[in-house]
Each structure stands twice: as C-alpha cells, then as structure tokens.
Amino acid sequence: MIGMTQKPKILVIGSANMDMVIQSDHFPVPGETIIGGDFSLIPGGKGANQAVAAARLGGDVCFITRLGEDIFGSQNLLNFQKEGIDTSYIHQIPEVPSGVALITVDKSGENTIIVAPGANAHLTVGDMKASEQRFEETELILLQLEIPLETVVAAAALGNKLGKKVLLNPAPAQKLPDKLYRYLQLITPNETEAEFLTGIAIDGEASAEKAAKFFIERGVQDVIITLGSKGAYLHSSNFKGILPTSKVTAKDTTAAGDTFNGALAVALGKGLPIKDAVNFAMKAATLSVQRMGAQTSIPYIHELSIP
C-alpha cells in the first residue's frame, strides 16, 4: 500500500462544473435526435475532478476555483468540503452561472463533452497573486486548461518562482505560449493533445519520444503522454519508454485522465520515483474507467496498492 502517513500539500487550480450525463447506444450525427438511456447529474470539471482524486488518494488538497451563486455552485462547494478539500480560496460569484458540461457516453464507454465555462472564466491573474501565501505552503501545483490561459501562465510562473513542482495537464488542448513550458516540471498530454501541441501523430514509442522531445526542448523537465488502454509513455532523466497498463472493459472514460493526474500528483508529492508514480496513477485510472461518472468513478487510497 502506498504510504498513507505522509500527506503531501497539493494545490489544484482549475475548473469546477456540474456534469449532465446521458448514456446512449451511439453518438447522434448532426441533425439527428436519438432516445438515450439513464441521465445523471454529477459534479465534474477537470480541476474539481483532479482535486477530488488527489484528496481521495492521500493528498492534503487546497482547490482554487470560481463558482456561481446558484444551486450547482452551492452543491459543488458542499461536495468539496465533504471530500476534506481546503475551500478557503473558492469563491461564489453573484449573477454568474456555475460551469456546466453536457456529456454523452456511448455503449463502449467513449464520451463527447461540451463545456460552458460560466464562473470558471472569472478566475483571474489577480486571484493568483492574492493566493501567494497558499502557493508558498504547497509542495506541488496541478493545473489544467479549463480556466483562462493567462491565469494558468500566472499560476505556473508563481509556482516556478517559489521553487514548487508545477504539473500541467494540457486539457482541453489549446496552443500554449513557449514561456509556459519553462515553468513546468511535468506535462501530461494524452495522444490527441500531444499531437495538437507538437504536430506529431502518436502511433508508437518512436513518435511519442519525438513528441516528448518537443516539450523537453522548450524547458519541461519530464513528459508523460497517456496512451489510453496502451498505458503511458514516460520521458524522464532515468527512464524513457512505454509503461503498460492493465486491460479492462471500460464503462465510462469521463474522468480517467483527471484520476490519473490527481493520483500522479499525490505519488510525486510523496516522493515516489516518477516511474512508480506513473504506475500508481495508471492503476487509479484503470479503476475509474470501470465505473460511471466523473467524481463518482474516482477511487480511494484503500482500493490501491503499489509495488
């Protein structure tokens, strides 16, 4: 079992949404109306999912986000408190809706997602400066791209200036300024995001290594490209190659990447070598895809072990 006595201080900065999920046999084509299956209302958002994953898997987590002063915002805030997450820097904004995501999950477990950012778009550079004390107290900072890009850059720059480990999950993919890469210890794109950012299609270990070098040349220290059921490609100072994952039947892949990143942050915060941290994160993600929903699928530390 991964060590449970040490709780690394992890600062997650990102989005919080309410996910509206419909299951269906297949995805509709433009202009088509189909009859779906079960409907669920599940807390989500990449930042929130990663914060919950890190908290459940052994981290001392503080989450910085923005919520609306609506029922979704209040429900999300209560959920974070129940998870034991420090909500001191979470604020509800009047007259702005909380973020929402419309998600369709097909019978193979694949999904399509449309996000309306709402209050997430109001997390600012000024908010990062106002949170500097919390940055100083943390060990690792975890970021994604569902909040304004300038806010992500400001958070990464501040974390780097203070000597903190900064981890970026570049999702959903968008073009990034070169200066951002220099602030990062670690970047964790999936195959699609890696291709978007580098222009290199990932079709095996050689292409993954070529894509990883794109990030390394721009100042990132370590690179992990997640490969879904094929595992993950790791490029670090002492290991370069694909780490395989367990084969399972996926029910819903909605929060697999977020579970991976939250678990990875905890493992690195506990001081595990990066190769072991990736293996731990893949085990957590493998559990999550066998369950429905975003935060409802994220496992707890007692469900996992690590060599």
State the catalytic residues: 258
Q: Which residue shows structure tokens 């890696």? A: 194
146 annotated as ligand-binding: yes
CB 202 within 8 A of CB 223: no
24 annotated as ligand-binding: no
19 annotated as ligand-binding: yes
CA distance 165 to 199: 27
108 annotated as ligand-binding: no
231 annotated as ligand-binding: yes
Q: At residue 149, what is the residue type?
A: L
18 annotated as ligand-binding: yes
45 annotated as ligand-binding: yes
CA distance 20 to 104: 8
49 annotated as ligand-binding: yes
47 annotated as ligand-binding: yes
131 annotated as ligand-binding: no
- For 73-93, give one letter per residue: b (16+ CB within 10 A) or e: beebbebbeebebbbebbbbb
252 annotated as ligand-binding: yes
Torsion of CA 193, 194, 197, 203, to 10 degrees: -120
**3-state SS track over 15-63:** CCEEEEEEECCCCCCCCCCCCCCCEEEEEECHHHHHHHHHHHCCCEEEE
15 annotated as ligand-binding: no
Q: Cα–chain-centroid distance for residue 42?
A: 16
178 annotated as ligand-binding: no
82 annotated as ligand-binding: no
76 annotated as ligand-binding: no
- Choose among 232, 211, 214, 218: nearest CA to 277: 232
- Choose among 156, 136, 160, 139: nearest CA to 148: 156
Strands 9-13 and 60-64: what pairing?
Answer: parallel
Angle between helices 191-198 and 205-217 (to 10 degrees): 50
Torsion of CA 159, 164, 169, 172, to 10 degrees: -10
Which residue ranges are tagged as binding site for ATP?
Answer: 190, 226-231, 257-258
Which residue ranges are tagged as binding site for substrate?
Answer: 17-19, 45-49, 146, 258
Which residue ranges are tagged as binding site?
Answer: 17-19, 45-49, 146, 190, 226-231, 252, 254, 257-258, 288, 291, 293, 297
